[in-house]
Amino acid sequence: MRQQMIFLFMAAVLVAGMTVIPVSAVDLKNMTDEERAAFMDTQPRVGILSDLDPAHLPPGWDTPCSGECIPIIMIFSPGDKIRFHGENTASGTTYLFLSGPGLDEKGAQIQKPDPANSPVESGNPATFAQADVGSDHTWSWTWDTTGMVLKDGTYEVLAASHPNGFDTGQAVTARGYFKIMIKNSPGTTTTPVTTAPPIATAKPVVTETIMPGVVTIRATGSQDYNLGDEINFTGTNTAGWKTYLFITGPGLAASGSQIHVTDPKNRPVISDNAQTFKQMDVQGDRTWIWRWGTATTTLDPGTYTIYAAAGPKDADNLDRTPYGTVTIRIKKREIPATASLSETTRPMATMVPAPSATMMAPTQSPGYGFLVALAGLGAAACVLFRRTR
């Protein structure tokens, strides 16, 4: 009996101690899925996602995977518009910045054209891109990468609850990140210059490798078009996720001109400058399409060659880039021959010779023939009258 009382007393003390011992950490590992989800819902957090676009999937990924699979990092090039969105339960504003090759360790300004020279400043909201958080705790922001100066490589786009970079740590800021890949020119790699003896100040140069894949282009119809027609181009591209178009022909730059502008004669393409090419996204089935309206172009009639390439390369620099060509002929729109104005606008009854110096113009009074006819009718009436008497 005495032993039982001692055991009960010790159990009571132990229970009392457990109720007053503070919980210093949460063991998520030993929670059930429901308990873990309920706990996480109470914690401030920031999430970031991007629309999964098949046009920007890596080569070999025709469609997004489902279930458990290798994480997909989408590929973009300067000039693309990338929409990010997510959830923020920690603040009313989401602050975005960038991390990646050549950028400051504490983060770079994603909204600046040259992030490498534009670090973020913790505590200064102006150095971050900002997105308002709605009443449903969601936010959205679109990154226009036109004119951005970024090296090839993998980057992290970070969304934070407060305007703080990496130098302030995670403790004061809830963050989420999304990885993307930037490729300025498909199929290029950066390698250092090596000389003998080595030079310490040598700068990296871009060397090209032959790109795998095939690019094709064809024009629908007979390849003979009138200036002003809409011309449909279609093709395939298994070498990348963008097709770059340009044109050569009479009066144009020998290495190629910009096909999509009004005056191609004065707008040559510039190799490795993607903004000077017409760019078309390649779809998940590896096809692309573009409709060219020629109504406003200043091209002269003649024979032209349209190039479709896997990279922004002009005609002089395509030896290591897959491409295809199609030749078309552009003519001036023919105006059908029409009858003269006098024949098409005058009623048939008025198509009479014009009066001349030897022909009297008709007047409003009755003609001579009309008077003779009246006189004849009068004579006939007289003869009939006399016979009936």
Q: What is the pLDDT of residues 24-45, one digit of tens each?
A: 345 555 667 666 566 656 678 8
Distance CA 287, CA 215 (A): 9
Highest mean pLDDT among 174-188, 196-210, 273-287: 273-287
Better-scored residue on pLDDT, 251 or 341: 251
Q: What is the DSSP string of 331-351?
A: EPPPPPP---HHHHHS-GGG-
Per-residue pLDDT, averaged over 59-87, amounts to: 70
Which of the two residues, 271 and 13, has the higher pLDDT score?
A: 271
Domain ranges of the chain: 49-182, 218-331
- Write down the pTM of the prediction: 0.41
Residue 369 tokens, joined: 């023939």
Domain 218-331 has CATH 3.30.565.10: no
Residue type, 267: R
pLDDT level of residue 57 (50, 70, 90 thresholds):
confident
Give the mean pLDDT of the chain.
74
Q: What is the largest CA-CA distance in the chain?
A: 174
Q: What pLDDT was estimated at residue 128? A: 96
What tokens were used for 311? 């990279």
Question: Could you give the CA distance from residue 233 to residue 302 in angstroms, rounded to a whole number?
Answer: 18
List, for residues 287-304, the tens digit of each pLDDT value. 999 999 999 999 999 999
Per residue in 207-219, pLDDT (tens digit) is 334 456 789 999 9
CA distance 309 to 327: 15
Q: What is the pLDDT of residue 41?
A: 61
80-102: per-residue pLDDT in tens? 999 999 999 889 999 999 999 99
**C-beta separation of 220 from 235 below 8 A:** no
What percent of the chain lies above the pLDDT cut of 90?
Answer: 42
**pLDDT score at 239:** 83
Same fold flag, 49-182 and 218-331: yes
DSSP 27: -
Q: Residues, the chain, total?
A: 389
**What topology does CATH give the domain 49-182?**
Immunoglobulin-like (2.60.40)
Bridge partners for 162 per DSSP: none
The pLDDT value recorded for residue 121 is 94
Which position has the higher pLDDT, 320 or 374?
320
